[in-house]
Structure 1
Amino acid sequence: MLGELNDEQIEKLLSSQVTGRIACSNDGVPYIVPINYYYDGEKIIGHSVEGKKISIMRKNPVVCFQVDQITNIFNWQSVIAWGRFEEISDMEEKGKCMEALKARIRPFSAPGPDHTSHGLSGRAEDLGLHLQLIFYKIVLVMKSGRFENS
Structure 2
Amino acid sequence: MTTNPAGDGYFSSLDAPECRKLLASQVVGRVAWESAEGINVFPVNYRIVNERVVFHTSESGPLSALLIPTKVGFQVDEFDAESAVGWTLLARGTTASAEGLESVSWVPDGRHVGVAINVEWLGGRVVSGTPS
Normalised TM-score (structure 1): 0.69
Deviation at 1:52, TM superposition (A): 1.4
| Structure 1: gaps (5+ residues) | 103-116, 121-130
| Separation in structure 2 between the aligned mates of residue 51 and residue 83 of structure 1, nearest angstrom | 21
Change (3 A) 1:68 1:135: same
2:112 maps to which residue? 133
1:118 maps to which residue? 107
Equivalence map 1:1-150=2 (5 Å):
1-27=10-36, 29-40=38-49, 42-49=51-58, 50-55=60-65, 57-58=66-67, 61-72=70-81, 74-89=84-99, 93-94=100-101, 97-98=102-103, 101=104, 117-119=106-108, 131=110, 133-150=112-129
Q: Give the ranges of 4+ consecutive aligned residues of structure 1 lying more than 3 Å apart after TM superposition.
A: none
| Separation in structure 2 between the aligned mates of residue 28 and residue 146 of structure 1, nearest angstrom | 31
Instruction: Provide the aligned C-alpha RMSD in A.
Output: 2.2
Normalised TM-score (structure 2): 0.78
What is the number of equivalent residue pairs in this alignment? 118
The residue type equivalent to 2:18 in the other structure is Q
| Separation in structure 1 between the aligned mates of residue 39 and residue 79 of structure 2, nearest angstrom | 24
The residue type equivalent to 2:89 in the other structure is V
Change (3 A) 1:59 1:136: closer
| Separation in structure 2 between the aligned mates of residue 41 and residue 79 of structure 1, nearest angstrom | 19
Q: Give the match's secondary structure for 2:108.
A: coil
Change (3 A) 1:132 1:147: closer
Q: Which has the higher helix share?
A: 1
Q: Which has the higher strand share?
A: 2
Query: Do the aligned residues in 1 keep the contact of 2:56 with 2:113 (CA within 8 Å)?
Result: yes
Change (3 A) 1:30 1:5: same
| Separation in structure 1 between the aligned mates of residue 13 and residue 111 of structure 2, nearest angstrom | 40
Deviation at 1:27, TM superposition (A): 2.6
Identity %: 22
The residue type equivalent to 2:107 in the other structure is H
